[in-house]
Structure 1
């Protein structure tokens, strides 16, 4: 049995489907703060799939063999809505799930984030870089919460010989993103489809590297299945870098939208550059992303088009 916390979320729902397709029994746990039942309702008739509504800041008593901990709001709009709870999910959630893993002797994977690097002073970012994070800023509830979760994972590994895996996930996109999550890909697509102005911050020259969700899930599964000595942290993301303006132009091109671009002040502590160094993932997991941004945007745009028009069916 594989436990996926945050399993009804964007990445979690894709991971649940991938694990079911591979023949696993999957226990999906979500409190539905940002996750949606609709994301996994296509699995409800499968006898190898279970769904539990639960908040990981409280202990969970189940019998499982592997744990993927994806429980945490990942977009600034949602993690800044209740910053104290965001920190609790990362820290208390990690403690509870590590305790569960220790009790049932399960292998456990932490979905960490590129945000542990903050506004980086090193580019691209290797796993050896310790980061440049504002510990008291509006993003700290997420950034520092994830950094503390990594600390807990490695302390459990050293103190209790717990088999751990830590993945640092860079910007991921694809179907089942929320239209209101505030992340740049979903923002641009929804604005373009609605004919609203495309909102860029600063001068639009800050960069991100976008990884399609199927590539990311493949990396997570390979990390979980890797030998015990492979603990991570390991960067998982697409190293091809785009400016925000380039992304906006590509979305406009694919959607055929006539939306104009408007510019707003850059939010506090917003990273200027974000690009993963994935040499470790290539060497250790034989993993690298295969889906170019333009190809990944097409099904993502089709998903949002169907969602906004009310034409979605369960997958």
Structure 2
């Protein structure tokens, strides 16, 4: 099996690459290394079945060259992270819309199956209990850069569905809900590595707003096998699937749990959104997935606890960053 992973040097992409290589796939990575890095592929960089192309999904010829001969394509390349989206909206729009169209067209041309990575952001401000894939999208003003990522990924999904309905392209859509794990960086506003890094350095943990906004965090090790099963399931074509965690937690509770698990003496500080981001920033009060569609089709069931995810992120950050004190984590038995 020949698999292409766009964004394969990124956080989720690198875990997927390792998983595919362990399964015996020939894997081609296409990544412009703008947010990912070759360090994420250290464990497999010399693997005989791995080929890495440094290039952008915005380059049509590069995309076609990478995908030619592929059996399946996992399209994970995207401009992600709240801070990046707010500060560089044009970059996000171009990468997430034009890049996806290039990938879709290449997959159509060569007959490759496609898994399109999407996001829970498409639901916007919908705070319903257990969002299903058919739930309404409630977005803020298109003039606020905060919503450009949600808008672009919604267009990506519409493109994918149109390619399926008009051309018969075998494409499934996976909506990720706050995926977390080793190698994720807090550089672009990812909340768990941000807070864990602050705790390890003895800095105040900065929680935006009142901290009562809730999320369901999912572990990358639970997500990756699920998307591989989805791309191989014929019944997944033309559909979207939520892939999220099972435990709802407020960001303030998350920060408190991080302080306890890391043994940090750091205080938790509430920071108004207007100080953290541009004026007019909006956030979602709640985001909880209904995973029943993915569970029914491919047996997706998130199994990793939030505490274990925090431990893994903390261990990974301590290992990768100089100057972090020796790490003593709260044991699983306490």
Moved over 6 A (4+): none
Determine helix, strand or coil for the equivalent of 1:215.
Answer: helix
Q: Distance in 2 between matches of 1:274 and 1:121?
A: 6
**Match for residue 321 of structure 2 among 305, 308, 311:** 308
Q: Equivalents in 2 of 1:217, 1:310: separation in Å?
A: 32
Measure the CA separation in 2 of the matches of 1:229 and 1:188.
Answer: 36
The answer on 1:44 being equivalent to 2:41 is: no
CA RMSD of aligned residues (A): 1.4
Q: Which residue of structure 2 aligns with residue 173 of structure 1? A: 180
The equivalent of 2:250 in structure 1 is 243
Q: Which residue pairs with 1:132 in the alignment?
A: 138
214, 223, 230: which one pairs with 1:216?
Answer: 223
Q: 1:3-82 counterparts in 2 under 5 A?
A: 3-59=4-60, 60-62=63-65, 63=68, 64-82=70-88
Match of 2:290 among 270, 273, 277: 277
Asked if 1:104 corresponds to 2:97, the answer is no
In structure 2, relative to structure 1, the CA distance for the partners of 1:126 and 1:197 (3 Å cut) is same
The answer for unaligned runs of 5 or more in structure 2 is 325-334
| Number of the residue aligned with 2:311 | 298
Aligned equivalents of 1:174 and 1:90: distance in 2?
23
The whole-number CA distance in structure 2 between the counterparts of 1:306 and 1:181 is 20
Q: Which residue of 2 aligns with 1:205?
A: 212
| Matching of residues 80-95 of structure 1 within 5 Å | 80-95=86-101
Counterpart Cα distance in 1 of 2:188 and 2:320: 14
Per the normalisation by structure 1, the TM-score is 0.95
Measured in 2, the distance between the counterparts of 1:40 and 1:136 equals 38
| Counterpart-to-counterpart distance in 2, 1:80 and 1:13 | 25
Shift of 1:81: 3.3
- How many equivalent pairs are there? 311
- Does the CA contact (< 8 Å) of 1:179 and 1:304 recur in 2? no
Unaligned runs of 5+ in 1: none
Question: 1:190-245: per-residue Cα shift (whole Å, max 9, x none)?
Answer: 10001010111121111010101100112211111212454320000112100111
